[in-house]
Amino acid sequence: MVEQAFPLPRREHKGSIPAATVWSGLVAHRWFVLATALCLGAVAWQGIRILLGPAVVVDQVERGRLIETVVASGHVETPYRVEIGSQITGTVEDVLVQQGERVVRGQPLILLEARELKASVVQAQGAVAQAEARIKQLEELTLPSAREAQAQAQATLLNAQQTYDRTAQLERNGYATRVALDEAQKTLDVARAVKRAAEFQVYTASPGGSDYVMAQTQLNQARANLDTAESRLGYATIVAPRDGVLITRSVERGTVVQAGKALLVLAPAGELQLVLQIDERNLGRLALGQTALASADAYPDRRFSATVTYINPGIDISRATVEVKLTVQEPPDFLRQDMTVSVDIEVAAKENADVLPMRSVHDILSGQPWVLAVRNGRAIQHPVTLGLHGTSQMEILEGLDAGDIVVPQSSGVRAGQRVRPVLP
């Protein structure tokens, strides 16, 4: 007889839950379980934040070079401007330049009608030629003729003198009458008078004589009139007095211009000035010779150097500002008249200074500045003493050392709050 084995039924422990049942329950309530896990995680994270504080990006005190600057805006201008006008009254025939054009010294700018002026020059040239001909006539005709007449008068006088001497001798010897002697005397007197007249003619026709001086004076006057006429003709062409850029044009063809009225305004080439209006509170920090970096608002990435050369001794009471001028020795080619510029004037500099970003310092202008320094995981209000002020940084004289960390104002952290500092 063969015995057959039958499996015994499994005996389940009282109170145990099958794993399949648990898994199926989790799957069925998976969203609830996930939400519960997230809540527990958030509670745990919040607990950690409460215990350790929030993570905050902090600033660190560093040692380096700090430059204190005065920042201001202004405009570009030349040390002076040249107003170009006409020296005579006339009608504009042509304008050869445009506003904004660069010109060189002597370049024609405006042409005036010059027909009458040219006629005056021709007339004056004729007067000069006539006066020169008069001088030439004296030198080549009058003076030689006067000298010939003088020589002839000298010979006539010598002959009259000899005739008188013979007649006088004969009259003493009784061979000539008194009448003959009187005639000889008369002839001698006439010869002497003719000789004196001839000498006078030679003198007046010679250089230094009255006729020659008068002719020379007429020539000089004619030449002066010619110079005047040519100068007035030259005024019909208005030229550039020096190199520069024309920044204003107020004349067109056909305009009747008056002497002295400005037609063009020239900004001379060379040095340029930056004219600034700076708050009078910064007056004590400024000095002649200070260097600066400037940039035009139209070209902010192209910076150039300048030097403080003028500080107005007076204050603009309406704006509480002082006018300061800086000279640009080598102006870049993109600078234009009246262009707006931003300038950083270096008023002080220090090496190995303890430097902190300005954003981390509270109450800078109050006289009692302070920072939120991180000590043992907490933000502690700590007073500091400030030194130089840079553009975005400032010097810490007392209260902090290199390597200390502070909380920026924008973090929203309050004094006494726990924080977890994070360096940028």
CATH number at residue 326: 2.40.30.170
| Residues 221 and 120 occupy one common structural domain | yes
Is 47 part of any domain?
A: no
| pLDDT for 197 | 87
Q: Which of 11-20, 278-287, 344-353 has the lowest mean pLDDT?
A: 11-20
| pLDDT for 5 | 42
Q: Which of 78, 66, 111 is nearest to 93 (CA)?
A: 111
Is 7 part of any domain?
A: no
Q: Which of 352, 339, 349 is nearest to 391 (CA)?
A: 349
| pLDDT for 308 | 94
Would you say residue 203 has pLDDT above 60?
yes
Q: Considering the chain, what is the average pLDDT of its residues?
A: 85
Q: Where are the beta strands (DSSP E) in 96-176?
A: 102-103, 108-112
- How many percent of the chain have pLDDT more than 90? 34
The residues facing 354 across adjacent strands are: 63
**Mean pLDDT, range 242-247, rounded to an integer:** 88
Q: What is the CATH number of the domain that holds 391?
A: 2.40.420.20
Domain of 362, in residue numbers: 56-69+350-422
Total number of domains constituting the chain: 4
Query: What is d(CA 239, CA 227) in angstroms, rounded to the nearest whole number?
Result: 19
- Vertex 165, ends 164 and 166: CA angle to 5°? 90
| pLDDT for 18 | 62
Encode pLDDT of 175-196 as tens digits: 778 888 888 889 888 989 988 8
Report which of residues 28 and 332 the model is more confident about: 332
* CB neighbourhood size of 291 (10 A): 13
| 274 — pLDDT class (breaks 50, 70, 90) | very high
| Residues 251 and 276 occupy one common structural domain | no
* CB neighbourhood size of 93 (10 A): 14
| pLDDT for 7 | 46
Two tokens, residue 349: 């500099």
**Mean pLDDT, range 274-299, rounded to an integer:** 92
**Mean pLDDT, range 162-185, rounded to an integer:** 85
Is 27 part of any domain?
A: no
| Residues 276 and 385 occupy one common structural domain | no
Report which of residues 204 and 274 the model is more confident about: 274
| Residues 388 and 374 occupy one common structural domain | yes
Cβ-based neighbours of 69, under 8 Å, separated by 6 or more: 292, 344, 345, 346, 347, 390, 391
Query: What is d(CA 145, CA 421) in angstroms, rounded to the nearest whole number?
Result: 120
* CB neighbourhood size of 328 (10 A): 19
Q: Which residue has the tokens 């302070």?
A: 370
Q: Which of 424, 423, 417, 422 is nearest to 53 (CA)?
A: 417
| pLDDT for 347 | 87
Choosing from 234, 252, 276, the residue where a domain stops is 234
Q: What is the CATH number of the domain that holds 253?
A: 2.40.50.100
Q: Where are the alpha helices (DSSP H) in 206-343?
A: 210-235
Encode pLDDT of 34-90 as tens digits: 777 677 666 555 555 555 568 888 889 999 888 888 889 999 988 888 899 999 999
| Residues 188 and 226 occupy one common structural domain | yes
**Mean pLDDT, range 96-107, rounded to an integer:** 91
Q: What share of the chain is helix, strand, coil (3-state, %, to 5)?
A: 40, 35, 30
| pLDDT for 16 | 52
Query: What is d(CA 89, CA 260) in angstroms, rounded to the nearest whole number?
Result: 9
| Residues 141 and 228 occupy one common structural domain | yes
| pLDDT for 416 | 84
Query: What is d(CA 10, CA 130) in angstroms, rounded to the nearest whole number?
Result: 156
| Residues 226 and 241 occupy one common structural domain | no
Encode pLDDT of 115-159 as tens digits: 999 999 999 999 999 999 988 888 888 888 888 888 998 998 899
Q: Which of 229, 225, 224, 211 is nearest to 134 (CA)?
A: 211
| Residues 96 and 122 occupy one common structural domain | no
pTM: 0.55
Q: Which residue has the tokens 């001798």?
A: 169
Would you say residue 414 has pLDDT above 90?
no
| pLDDT for 20 | 62
| Residues 317 and 402 occupy one common structural domain | no
Strands 340-357 and 370-375: what pairing? unpaired
| Residues 300 and 370 occupy one common structural domain | no
Is 39 part of any domain?
A: no
Judge whether 321 and 315 are in contact, CB under 8 Å. Answer: yes
Q: What would you measure as the largest C-alpha separation in the chain, in angstroms?
A: 236
| pLDDT for 247 | 86
**Mean pLDDT, range 98-114, rounded to an integer:** 92
| pLDDT for 44 | 54
| pLDDT for 12 | 47
| 33 — pLDDT class (breaks 50, 70, 90) | low
In this structure, which amino acid lies at residue 252?
E
| 290 — pLDDT class (breaks 50, 70, 90) | very high
Judge whether 88 and 232 are in contact, CB under 8 Å. Answer: yes
Is 38 part of any domain?
A: no
**Strands of the sheet with 108-112, listed across from one edge:** 237-239, 108-112, 90-95, 256-257
Report which of residues 267 and 222 the model is more confident about: 222
Is 94 part of any domain?
A: yes
Is 332 part of any domain?
A: yes
- How many percent of the chain have pLDDT more than 70? 89
- Vertex 158, ends 154 and 163: CA angle to 5°? 145
| Residues 170 and 150 occupy one common structural domain | yes
Is 130 part of any domain?
A: yes
**Mean pLDDT, range 339-343, rounded to an integer:** 93
| pLDDT for 409 | 87
| pLDDT for 126 | 94
| Residues 221 and 285 occupy one common structural domain | no
Strands 55-57 and 420-422: what pairing? parallel
